[in-house]
């Protein structure tokens, strides 16, 4: 199957790494899209286990366009080449979903309606009837991603945005999405044998995503609701399909620790971890930053991975300075030699200016969650 994964900007190489690890697939990428080819069952396995992707498509094709007329012309050409016999039966319902990123002279609903007309016309030619449209619960979703002047058309194999984790019921202000959290973990060069600490765990997402990754547990472990299960050409014994993957889970306790100064955040983290099915693999504890050295032994931590605050209207620079100063003071004590502070924030200017002797930046990335831009620094203890 020819496929592509849709990701947030900056996470493309993390998705490529996942593809090589999970299904041994080679990939290429463009902004927000990672292309790959694999056997059908391997693509479906990737849909179930990926932590970096928002959606996975069975890709029809992609193209660049100049204006809406050009967009429609090329879309119709692609639809005309599709064999709908394998995807549509008499009782199959469908809809077209369009996601647009950037400025365009047309709306998503207009594109959905026009491409839907192409599908109906093609279906009548291929199978002799027009399938029913269902906006609420379709069996087949034709997905169109429009990213500036590029478009990608295919079958949505997932049917939902995977970045909206089903375990994430209890929230906390300032928490970033789970796909970005997972990218932070993988870009840090985190090893499953290392001791990982999140000093500001909020709703627990960094610890939870690390535990899912370590244990080989799907973020959809308790809710295996995927669009591919409805496709006529994808019929399987689905219980057996998922069971084969789930049997490879490892439930050994891991060296993953989440601290937060607020008890409500610790309670939220514990509840989310339980909903994800990995609560026994993580230790959460209420802890103020300046008391961290009472919980962590000297030179005992390999990596701190945290989303931290930066100066803003709601967070004065003086408070941020105090936090950064205490962070480096504590890290000097509990980080191992070559241990890393992996820190995500909207603006790292102040953080960079406060890095003390004995620490140095080894990697820097620009990552996005939707339109929100973040800077990510890996700071190593020398």
Q: Using CA atoms, how far apart are residues 83 and 377, in angstroms rounded to an integer?
A: 47
Q: Which residues 6+ apart lie within 8 Å of 206 measured at CB?
A: 181, 184, 185, 198, 258, 305, 306, 307
Reported as a pLDDT band with limits 50, 70 and 90, residue 225 is very high
Q: Is 303 left (phi over 0), alpha (psi -120 to 50) or beta?
A: beta
Q: Using CA atoms, how far apart are residues 180 and 188, in angstroms rounded to an integer?
A: 12
**Per-residue pLDDT, 94:** 93
Q: Using CA atoms, how far apart are residues 380 and 298, in angstroms rounded to an integer?
A: 16
The answer to whether 276 and 217 have CB atoms below 8 angstroms apart is yes
Q: Which of 251, 243, 188 is closest to 214 using CA atoms?
A: 251
The answer to whether 215 and 282 have CB atoms below 8 angstroms apart is no
Q: What is the largest CA-CA distance in the chain?
A: 73
Q: Which residues 6+ apart lie within 8 Å of 291 measured at CB?
A: none
**pLDDT score of 327 more than 90:** yes
**pLDDT score of 232 more than 90:** no
**Using CB atoms within 10 A of its CB, is residue 179 exposed (0-12), middle (13-18) or buried (19+)?**
buried
| CA distance readout (Å), 26 to 140, 213, 225 | 27, 20, 27
> pTM of the full predicted structure?
0.95
Angle at 339 between CA 368 and CA 20, to 5 degrees: 50
**Per-residue pLDDT, 325:** 97
- Averaged pLDDT score across all residues of the chain: 95
| Domains of the chain with CATH codes | 2-156 (3.30.2130.30), 178-216+248-381 (3.40.50.150)
Q: Which residues pair with 3 in a beta bridge?
A: 36, 58
pLDDT tens sequence across 49-81: 999 999 999 999 999 999 999 999 999 999 999
Q: Using CA atoms, how far apart are residues 334 and 330, in angstroms rounded to an integer?
A: 6
**Per-residue pLDDT, 354:** 97
pLDDT tens sequence across 79-109: 999 988 888 888 889 999 999 999 999 999 9
DSSP string, 32-62: TEEEEE--HHHHHHHHHH-SS-SEEEEEEEE
């Amino acid at each position: 199957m020819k496929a592509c994964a849709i990701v947030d900007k900056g996470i493309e190489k993390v998705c490529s790494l996942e593809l090589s690890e999970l299904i041994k697939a080679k990939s290429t990428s463009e902004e927000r899209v990672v292309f790959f080819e694999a056997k059908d069952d391997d693509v479906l396995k990737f849909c179930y286990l990926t932590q970096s992707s928002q959606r996975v498509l069975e890709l029809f094709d992609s193209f660049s366009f100049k204006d809406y007329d050009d967009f429609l012309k090329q879309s119709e050409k692609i639809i005309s080449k599709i064999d709908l016999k394998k995807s549509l039966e008499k009782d199959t319902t469908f809809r077209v979903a369009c996601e647009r990123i950037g400025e365009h002279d047309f709306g998503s609903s207009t594109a959905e309606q026009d491409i839907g007309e192409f599908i109906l016309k093609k279906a009548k030619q291929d199978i002799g009837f027009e399938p029913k449209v269902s906006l609420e619960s379709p069996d087949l979703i034709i997905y169109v991603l429009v990213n500036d002047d590029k478009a990608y058309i295919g079958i949505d194999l997932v049917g939902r945005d995977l970045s909206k984790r089903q375990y994430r019921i209890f929230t906390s202000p300032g928490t970033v999405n789970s796909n970005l959290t997972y990218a932070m973990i993988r870009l840090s060069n985190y090893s499953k044998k290392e001791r990982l600490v999140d000093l500001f765990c909020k709703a627990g997402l960094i610890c939870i995503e690390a535990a899912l990754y370590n244990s080989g547990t799907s973020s959809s472990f308790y809710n295996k609701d995927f669009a591919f299960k409805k496709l006529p050409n994808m019929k399987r014994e689905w219980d057996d399909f998922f069971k084969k993957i789930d049997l490879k889970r490892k439930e050994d306790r891991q060296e993953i620790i989440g601290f937060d100064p607020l008890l409500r955040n610790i309670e939220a983290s514990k509840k989310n971890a339980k909903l994800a099915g990995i609560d026994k693999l993580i230790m959460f504890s209420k802890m103020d930053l300046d008391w961290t050295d009472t919980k962590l032994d000297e030179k005992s931590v390999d990596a701190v991975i945290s989303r931290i605050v930066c100066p803003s209207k709601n967070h004065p620079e003086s408070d941020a300075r105090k936090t950064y100063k205490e962070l480096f003071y504590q890290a000097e004590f509990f980080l191992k030699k070559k241990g890393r502070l992996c820190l995500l924030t909207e603006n790292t200017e102040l953080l960079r200016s406060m890095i003390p002797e004995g620490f140095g930046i080894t990697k820097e990335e620009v990552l996005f969650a939707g339109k929100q831009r973040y800077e990510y620094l890996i700071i190593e203890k020398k």
